[in-house]
Amino acid sequence: MNSSCSYYAVVVYKFLVLLIEELGGASDFLQRFSSKTFRIDTGPCCCCCPCFPRAQVTRRMLFLLKLGSLQNAILRTVISVLCLILWTNGIFNPADLRATGATLWIQLFMGVLTIISLWPIGIVFMNIKSLLDSLKIVPKYAMYQLVFVLCQLQTSIINILAFNGIIACAPPFSSRARGSMLSQQLLIMEMFVISLVTRSLYRRTYDPLPSEEQDNEQNEKEALQTALVEHDV
* Confidence tier at 192 by pLDDT (50, 70, 90): very high
Supply the pLDDT for residue 63.
Answer: 93
DSSP 110: H
Q: Specify if 124 maps to a domain.
A: yes
Same domain, 5 and 107: yes
Which of residues 157 and 98 earns the better pLDDT score? 157
Same domain, 119 and 143: no
Domain that holds residue 153: 133-206
Give the pLDDT confidence of 210-228 residue by residue, as tens digits: 665 555 555 555 556 655 5
Same domain, 197 and 174: yes
Same domain, 47 and 123: yes
pLDDT, the chain, mean:
81
| Cα–Cα distance measured from residue 80 to residue 107, given in angstroms and rounded to the nearest whole number | 11
Same domain, 117 and 27: yes
- Three-state DSSP at 36 gives coil
Q: Specify if 225 maps to a domain.
A: no
Is residue 129 predicted with pLDDT exceeding 70? yes
* Confidence tier at 189 by pLDDT (50, 70, 90): very high
Decide which of 131, 156, 181 is a domain's last residue.
131
Is residue 206 predicted with pLDDT exceeding 70? yes
Decide which of 83, 109, 131 is a domain's last residue.
131
Supply the pLDDT for residue 51.
Answer: 74
Same domain, 92 and 49: yes
Percent of the chain with pLDDT over 70: 83
* Confidence tier at 204 by pLDDT (50, 70, 90): confident
Q: Specify if 223 maps to a domain.
A: no
Which of residues 33 and 43 earns the better pLDDT score? 33
Same domain, 94 and 200: no
Average pLDDT over residues 42-69: 81
Q: Specify if 220 maps to a domain.
A: no
Same domain, 127 and 161: no
**What sign has the CA pseudo-torsion 58, 63, 64, 68?**
positive
Q: Specify if 229 maps to a domain.
A: no
Is residue 5 predicted with pLDDT exceeding 80? no
Same domain, 121 and 158: no
Same domain, 79 and 163: no
pTM for this model (two decimals): 0.79
| Cα–Cα distance measured from residue 146 to residue 230, given in angstroms and rounded to the nearest whole number | 39
- DSSP character string of 144-196: HHHHHIIIIIIHHHHHHHHHTT-SPPBTTB-HHHHHHHHHHHHHHHHHHHHHH
Which of residues 123 and 232 earns the better pLDDT score? 123
Average pLDDT over residues 95-111: 77
Q: Are 116 and 45 in contact (CB under 8 A)?
A: yes
Is residue 43 predicted with pLDDT exceeding 80? no
Decide which of 131, 166, 189 is a domain's last residue.
131
- What total number of domains does the chain contain? 2
* Confidence tier at 166 by pLDDT (50, 70, 90): confident
Same domain, 168 and 106: no
